[in-house]
Structure 1
């Protein structure tokens, strides 16, 4: 299944870029990438998925080939959720499925609760439907302060984009993200950088640094309240060596994800499925075949009951 087209969808601050596969008449699936990634994140997975769907992978604002937010306009979690609604409107989609990796899953989870009638299926790939971690509560005001100060510093500095060699850019990415292998990193940088005469620079907005600066952490009480609004069937795919939460370096604390899984199962019952597969946080890029079968079965299963795998 080859890439059909690159899309540029108009928004008030510029455009949202996206990539599309499959027939426009087929059932739609919107793919949401992780923090600081881009739509290339799904290039190796989508060709392994059922051909009778229309897949669109978008670049969040400030990422990939999408426009940066206007000066003075900060990046907040709610804004990314709003982008999903804008893309759906531009594509004239009234009901569709969501496939979200990491941060993209958290955005998709919130969207699915705010606009429950619009989401048929929600696939959480190495992600939770909300960023839920009670250990962060003491840091929330610190994050908000840092976010404001960081934006002011970037806007005041007006430094030109730093140009480095492609190899140095790759090594910087791999140093900050140990789960992304070399080939995975190169693929993300194809869309995430611009080539100039002396090297490459990052496309992404420099105001985006740490995800926790813009995230809304939710309490367990809020989590339980929100998921009762879900109408979608939900699939959560966890890699054995991946992250349980956005910022977790290892899987030592399994309690949070177990709470999420048990809660989703309790509320959604047969509309929820959970699978663990071998791999790390970037399994959809490094070993896409490990998750393609599970996702394909879920997409094609119209009844929502657990499919035999």
Structure 2
């Protein structure tokens, strides 16, 4: 497989964030208007390359690898949870933007984090873009004993991620996740998604601890309480063919739950992208970039 050639080259920077060595990827002129982009679960910052290449304006895109993903150091704790992501993001924004209100975008897990953040720190956000960051299914207190027991079992028997003999196998693994991904784009992503170890195997750049269940139940009502405090305009984008909503039960109920959550956001514009799955920034980066730039350029 011959990888896609990036139209806009990125550059890497490493800095210490809350005791961890964080990798931050940059595209564009540092003096241009900023867009912070936060990737999803089991992904990394280079995932935004195709969308960045499709942007028509001059932007400084700042995209960190979350803790335990990509080239960022792994956590010393047994689990990853949303409060750490929020605090990491807060420190990253302080470092690059000071007190400036920013444009903030997140995909999937990253979308969950940035939307929570926009409600917790509403004064920090100029405009917010959520790409399929709905949150997790609601839980009930009765689930707590089983959840704690499952978490302790998984801490004792930690998950592992398999290695791959070649980079081509890594690219094929990405295509099994997303059948729309071209050979060229899969090859590009594979070289950032995995790294060769001392034995010659290609290992996914994601801490296996991310595969463990969280000991903390997800409280959807608390999430929506944060969303209600968002003051910035929000662009909410879904992919018509996404399967991420399968976790929310029967189709007859999932749309109702999605709309209930969106309704918590005071100033929201909803857009749907056709011929795209959950990795919509890989499937339709040009259409996505057009929507994003039109939204960012609207009068405040």
Please state which band the TM-score falls in when normalised by the shorter chain.
0.7 to 0.9
What's the RMSD between the two structures over aligned residues? 2.9
Q: Report the TM-score when normalising by structure 2.
A: 0.83
Question: 1:225 Cα shift?
Answer: 2.6
Aligned mates of 2:10, 2:178 — CA distance in 1: 32
Structure 2 residue ranges without an equivalent (≥5) = 1-6
1:287 to 271, 277, 284: 284
Question: 1:302 Cα shift?
Answer: 2.7
List, as ranges, runs of 4+ consecutive aligned residues in structure 1 with deviation greater than 6 Å. none
Distance of aligned partners of 1:250 and 1:90 in 2 relative to their CA distance in 1, 3 Å threshold: farther
Classify the secondary structure of the residue corresponding to 2:128: strand
Question: 1:105 Cα shift?
Answer: 0.3
2:8 to 2, 12, 15: 2
Classify the secondary structure of the residue corresponding to 1:134: coil
Contact 2:195 2:205 (C-alpha < 8 Å) held by counterparts: yes
Distance of aligned partners of 1:60 and 1:148 in 2 relative to their CA distance in 1, 3 Å threshold: farther
Q: What residue in structure 2 maps to residue 27 of structure 1?
A: 33
Distance of aligned partners of 1:74 and 1:135 in 2 relative to their CA distance in 1, 3 Å threshold: closer
Distance of aligned partners of 1:122 and 1:243 in 2 relative to their CA distance in 1, 3 Å threshold: farther
Question: 1:186 Cα shift?
Answer: 3.5
Is 1:274 equivalent to 2:280 in the alignment? no
What is the CA deviation profile of residues 70-121 of structure 1, one whole-angstrom value per residue up to 9, with x for unaligned ones? 2x45211111111111211222432211111111000001111111111111
Q: What residue in structure 2 maps to residue 51 of structure 1?
A: 57
Aligned mates of 2:130, 2:217 — CA distance in 1: 18
Is 1:255 equivalent to 2:256 in the alignment? yes
1:107-186 to structure 2, matched below 5 A, reads 107-128=113-134, 131-134=135-138, 139=143, 141-154=145-158, 162=163, 164-175=165-176, 177-178=177-178, 181=181, 183=183, 184-186=185-187
Is 1:231 equivalent to 2:237 in the alignment? no
Distance of aligned partners of 1:237 and 1:161 in 2 relative to their CA distance in 1, 3 Å threshold: closer
Contact 1:68 1:205 (C-alpha < 8 Å) held by counterparts: yes
1:68-79 to structure 2, matched below 5 A, reads 68-70=74-76, 72-79=77-84
Aligned mates of 2:162, 2:25 — CA distance in 1: 26
Classify the secondary structure of the residue corresponding to 1:201: strand
Q: Report the TM-score when normalising by structure 1.
A: 0.81
Contact 1:192 1:202 (C-alpha < 8 Å) held by counterparts: yes
Question: 1:35 Cα shift?
Answer: 0.4
Q: What residue in structure 2 maps to residue 307 of structure 1?
A: none
Aligned mates of 1:23, 1:2 — CA distance in 2: 11
Classify the secondary structure of the residue corresponding to 2:207: coil
Structure 1 residue ranges without an equivalent (≥5) = 304-309
What is the CA deviation profile of residues 132-188 of structure 1, one whole-angstrom value per residue up to 9, with x for unaligned ones? 53367764554444334323433xx9x89845333443444444x346635454433
Aligned mates of 1:22, 1:255 — CA distance in 2: 40
Distance of aligned partners of 1:257 and 1:5 in 2 relative to their CA distance in 1, 3 Å threshold: same
Distance of aligned partners of 1:167 and 1:5 in 2 relative to their CA distance in 1, 3 Å threshold: closer
Distance of aligned partners of 1:202 and 1:244 in 2 relative to their CA distance in 1, 3 Å threshold: closer
Aligned residues: 289
